[in-house]
Amino acid sequence: MNLLNIISKIEELDVEAADKYSFYSRRNLIKFGQKALTAAAVPTLFAATANQAFAQAGPSQAAIDVLNFALTLEYLEDEYYRLALNTANLIPAADRTVIAQISKHEVAHVVLLRGALGAAAVAKPTFKFGDSFSTYQKFLGLAQALEDTGVRAYKGQAGALINDKSILQVALQIHSVEARHAAQVRRMNGAKGWIGTAGNAPAAVYAGEEATMQATIDLVALTGKSAAAVAEAFDEPLTKAQVLAIAGTYIA
């Protein structure tokens, strides 16, 4: 599947999304105009990536499993932000731009992964978010947990994609977007953008993030920096089982 097909599929599947894209594309044009040199290479790069990723002869079963796992998480995030944006008086006007930008990406991730998987794509589960939309603080709390879990989930699957190089690259490109989201949501939630202390999310979301050893190197001893700084400097993975245990709370 090439880039044009993906875009037309996005438009087929989600008319609302197409509207959003055309809205954003106008702004995009302005930005690209200002930064023509750096931005010019991007569409070409992506076209190459998408072609390699999705037109390749056959992804391994391991890669299909990872993509479906990722799709499940993206369904979860997509629905969470979609419902939140549609809940009256939940998101303050000043924060809607940020939440809408995140939502836009989660929509795109779902479409991208479903497109990549085709008939192999898992169905969207039914989700339950409890009282997460009762206050903005509760909404932000779960948003933070979902984003940080998403980062950890993709990170934990990278190794399984080492033989599917093009899919690995796309997964990494989603992974860093989730990290951007996580940092922004964390700060709106009153936390630092990086993971040092758990905040108000379930403990399982941050299990192991306090690590200060990397590749058998004790980084506190090596650098003289605090354990918190060292823990912040490296994000830790979660296994698929750990992630599904967290996500399962929100699957009906």
Partner 1 sequence: MPGGLEPVAVGRRLFLRYSGAFVAGGALLAACKNEENPITVSPSPTMVDLGSGDIGILNYAYALEQLEAAFYTQVMTTPYSGMSDAERTILTDIRDHEIIHREFFKAAIPAANRIADLTPNFSAINFADRTSVLNTAKTFEDLGVSAYNGAGNLLKDVNLLLLAGKIVSVEARHAAVIRDLLNPKSADFAGDDVVTPANGLDVVRKPVQVLPAAQPFVRNTISGANLPTV
Which residue of 1, 85, 100, 244 would you call a contact of partner 1, by CB under 8 A? 100
Long-range contacts of 163-170 (CB under 8 A, 24+ apart): 163/60, 163/62, 163/63, 164/59, 164/60, 164/62, 164/63, 166/49, 166/52, 166/53, 166/56, 167/53, 167/59, 167/63, 167/66, 167/67, 167/116, 169/49, 169/53, 170/49, 170/50, 170/53, 170/112, 170/116
Beta-ladder partners of 217? 214
Report, in angstroms and rounded to the nearest whole number, the Rg of the chain calculated over CA atoms: 19
Q: How near is the Cβ of 217 to partner 1 at its closest, in Å?
A: 5
End-to-end CA distance of the chain: 33
Considering only residues 201 through 230, tell me which ones interact with partner 1, judged by CB under 8 A: 214-215, 217, 219, 222-223, 225-226, 229-230
| 102 near partner 1, judged by CB under 8 A | yes
Which of 217/251 has CB closer to partner 1? 217
Give the one residue of 67, 71, 91, 109 binding partner 1; rule: CB under 8 A.
109
Minimum CB distance to partner 1 smaller for 211 or for 245: 211
- Give me the least distance between CB of 202 and partner 1, in Å please: 20
**Contact between 192 and partner 1 (CB under 8 A)?**
yes
The torsion of the CA quartet 219, 221, 226, 229, rounded to 10 degrees, works out to -10
* CB of 223 vs partner 1, minimal distance in Å: 5
Counting contacts by CB under 8 A, is residue 177 touching partner 1?
yes
CA 147 remoteness from chain centre = 6
In the bound state with partner 1, the residue whose beta carbon lies nearer, of 30 and 130, is 30
Q: Please list, in sequence order, all residues whose beta carbon lies within 8 angstroms of the beta carbon of residue 117, skipping any fewer than 6 positions away.
A: 64, 67, 68, 71
Taking the least distance from each CB to partner 1, the nearer of 48 and 245 is 48
**By the rule CB under 8 A, 97 interacts with partner 1:** yes
Q: Which of residues 30-59 bind partner 1 (CB under 8 A)?
A: 31-32, 35, 38-39, 41-43, 45-46, 49-50
Residues 2-31 that bind partner 1 (CB under 8 A): 3, 6-7, 10, 20-21, 24-25, 27-28, 31
Considering the rule CB under 8 A, would residue 236 count as an interface residue with partner 1? Answer: yes
Question: Per rule CB under 8 A, is residue 234 in the interface with partner 1?
Answer: yes
Interface of this chain with partner 1, residues 116 to 145, rule: CB under 8 A: none
Q: What one-character DSSP code corresponds to residue 218? A: E
